[in-house]
Amino acid sequence: MNRKTFIVLLGVLFAGATSSVAATLPDACGSDQVKFSVKTQRSHSAVPDPAAGQAQVVFIEKMNEEGMGAFCLGCNVTTRVGVDGTWAGANKGDSYFTYAVTPGEHHLCVNWQSALRALASKAEALAFTAEAGKTYYFETSVLMKQEDAGQRQSYVEDRLHLKQVNTDEGQYLAKASAMSRWKAKK
**pLDDT, tens digit, 9 for 90 and up, residues 31-80:** 999 999 999 998 767 888 999 999 999 999 998 865 555 555 556 789 99
Sign of CA dihedral 43, 175, 56, 31: positive
> Is a pLDDT exceeding 50 seen at residue 2?
no
Closest of 125, 126, 68, 59 to residue 92, by C-alpha: 59
pLDDT at position 15, please?
41
Is the pLDDT higher at 71 or at 117? 117
Show me where the domains of the chain are located. 3-185
Rounded CA separation 150/120 (Å): 30
> Is a pLDDT exceeding 50 seen at residue 10?
no
Between CA 26 and CA 58, with CA 116 as vertex, the angle to 5 degrees is: 45
Rounded CA separation 100/107 (Å): 14
> What are the two backbone dihedrals, phi and then psi, of residue 58, each rounded to the nearest 5 degrees?
-115, 120
Return the DSSP state at 11. H
Is 138 in contact with 162 (CB distance < 8 Å)? yes
Place 147 in a pLDDT band, splitting at 50, 70 and 90. low
Is the pLDDT higher at 100 or at 157? 100
Rounded CA separation 108/121 (Å): 16
Rounded CA separation 121/111 (Å): 7
For residue 16, what are the β-bridge partners? none
pLDDT at position 18, please?
42
> Is a pLDDT exceeding 70 seen at residue 164?
yes
Cβ-based neighbour number of residue 138 at 10 Å = 21
pLDDT average, residue stretch 16-21? 45
